[in-house]
Amino acid sequence: MTMTITIASEQPDHIDAIRAVNDAAFGQSEESRLIDALRDDNGLTPSLLALNDDQVVGHIAFSPGIINTDSGDVPAISLSCMAVLPDCQKRGVGSLMVREGLRQVTDAGHRIVFVLGHPTYYPRFGFQRASTFGIRWEHECPDEAFMIMELQPGALTGVSGTVRYHKAFDMFV
Ligand SMILES: CC(C)(COP(=O)(O)OP(=O)(O)OC[C@H]1O[C@@H](n2cnc3c(N)ncnc32)[C@H](O)[C@@H]1OP(=O)(O)O)[C@@H](O)C(=O)NCCC(=O)NCCS
């Protein structure tokens, strides 16, 4: 199947398709419920789709978070969830969504982005282990899976502490 992928912002009539993509990719509905909870709390900033013609084949969403440091809270954005339909994986759709998402959050003025995810996937976009900056997630996770990246040079200089996700995550951890 030839794909011509365009990236678009989520619209209300995409919500069912976003659930379907996430449920198919993860094989469960927990991620869809998290996305719905974030949306209900204005916590999807942004939520982007990969469209092949008019079909939603991928989804990526960011949400606001903070890094608690000894000298106060530092704002950061999380790459919160990402999914591609199983039949469309390993063909670059995920990478297109990550790069466009990072471009948009950078343009929106965000300076730091973090992700909890596959440690062999996200470094290709510039993510590094958060622990090398003295930054940790507030919950237990494999050290190599919690990653962070500067969107502005120097944004992590002197920043160390504990990352907290949007409160919608609380019911899922
Ligand atoms: C992860 C995901 C979004 C990537 O989308 P994609 O369109 O296949 O991504 P790309 O085509 O840009 O890149 C494919 C790469 O991702 C890697 N990848 C996919 N799943 C992976 C996993 N579970 N662990 C490590 N790497 C993985 C592939 O091995 C491939 O690596 P390569 O380029 O070195 O061959 C997709 O595989 C997916 O939906 N997976 C299930 C849901 C999920 O795990 N979401 C991410 C949560 S952190």
The pLDDT of residue 1 is above 90? no
Is the CB–ligand 1 distance for residue 101 below 6 Å?
no
Q: d(Cα 105, Cα 23) in Å, to the nearest integer?
A: 25
Q: Is the CB of 82 under 6 A from ligand 1?
A: yes
Please write the tens of the pLDDT for every residue from 106-165.
999 999 999 999 999 999 999 999 999 999 999 999 999 999 999 999 999 999 999 999
Task: Evaluate: CB of 57 within 6 angstroms of ligand 1.
Answer: no
Cβ of 123 less than 6 Å from ligand 1: no
Q: Do residues 168 and 71 lie in contact, with contact meaning Cβ atoms separated by under 8 Å?
A: no
User: What is the structure's pLDDT at 171?
Assistant: 84
Indicate the DSSP class of residue 76: E
How many angstroms does the Cα of residue 118 sit away from the middle of ligand 1?
A: 8
Nearest to 18 by CA among 44, 103, 104, 42: 44
With cut-offs at 50, 70 and 90, classify the pLDDT of residue 173: confident
Ligand 1 atom having least distance to the Cα of 95: 12
CATH architecture of 5-172: 3-Layer(aba) Sandwich (3.40)
* CA 96 to ligand 1: nearest atom: 12
Q: How far is the CA of 89 from the centre of ligand 1 (A)?
A: 7
Q: Where are the domains of the chain?
A: 5-172
Asked if 43 contacts 10 with a C-beta cutoff of 8 angstroms, the reply is no
Whether a cis peptide bond, with omega within 30° of 0, leads into 123 is no
Q: How confident is the model at residue 2 (pLDDT cuts 50, 70, 90)?
A: confident
Q: Which atom of ligand 1 is nearest to 117's Cα? A: 48
For the segment 10-63, what is each residue's pLDDT rounded down to a tens digit?
999 999 999 999 999 999 999 999 999 999 999 999 999 999 999 999 999 999
